[in-house]
Amino acid sequence: MGDKVAIVTGGLQGIGKCCAVRLVKAGYDIAINDIREDADAKDYYKDLEEMGAKVFYMKANVTKEDEAENFIKSAHEALGRIDVLVNNAGITKDNLFIRMSKQDWDSVININLTGAFNITKPAVKIMMKQRFGSIVNMSSVVGVMGNAGQANYSASKAGLIGLTKTLAKELAGRNIRVNAVAPGFIDTAMTEKLDEEKLISIIPMSRKGKPEEIAETVFFLADTASYITGQVINVDGGLVM
């Protein structure tokens, strides 16, 4: 399509899928990874290709350092450069802290936070050689305000905020910007089990957000916001002010 390349982790569904589509619409070729490949994936890739993009997909577990490095290396070889990285891969395993198992703690931290480390490090090496790049980390409002029953998820998303701010300071001199988006309650599979009436009652805009609204903010930070780095943008209908 063009000379811009974006990587989106966890890009087969929900917010990640919307981010990939938005970037392709803006002229990016796209590399996507996920830990699975469902029956609709090939149609999804075909749709992106019909929009004019070169599409690279690799099944890769971001918690495994060797798989993350191989994905970045392979995407770079296939598409030629890396301009944008969207660290979107994430899971929830909710429970009250006193009942939370070590396994559920570890799995959420490993995917949401350590996974971002594993993907970002090899991508940054490429961006530093290019002397250009933009990273957007998918945090959450619960990483800002906390949330009962989500100690593991909140900790992982707060960690991404700290990672964002630190990398922004370390990499600005190489013309690499690093920002984060903190979605509120978004209409995805991750929130469908929650009490919608109760949620809406605490959101000033009185509705859940749409994945496309997160994707627009990701695109703004990744592509347009040339003088913004180290920032966390809440996209939450006014939940956190």
The whole-chain average pLDDT of the chain stands at 95
Helices 65-79 and 115-130: crossing angle, nearest 10°?
A: 30
Element holding 177 (H helix, E strand) = strand 176-183
Cβ proximity of 51 and 44 under 8 Å = no
Alpha helices in 62-140 (DSSP H): 65-79, 102-109, 115-130
Provide the whole-model pTM.
0.96
Give the tens place of pLDDT for each residue, 39-48.
778 889 999 9
Buried b (16+ CB within 10 A) or exposed e, 215-237: bbbbbbbbbebeeebbebbbbbb
Indicate if the pLDDT at residue 196 is higher than 90: no
Give the tens place of pLDDT for each residue, 6-18.
999 999 999 999 9
Indicate if the pLDDT at residue 194 is higher than 70: no
The token duo for 2 is 């063009």
Give the tens place of pLDDT for each residue, 85-116.
999 999 999 999 999 999 999 999 999 999 99
Using alpha carbons, select from 7, 2, 4, 1 the residue that is nearest to residue 123: 7
Single out the catalytic residue among 45, 57, 153, 227: 153
Q: Is 227 a catalytic residue?
A: no
Using alpha carbons, select from 214, 231, 230, 225 the residue that is nearest to residue 90: 214
**Residue whose token pair is 């480390």:** 117
* Residue 92: DSSP 8-state: -
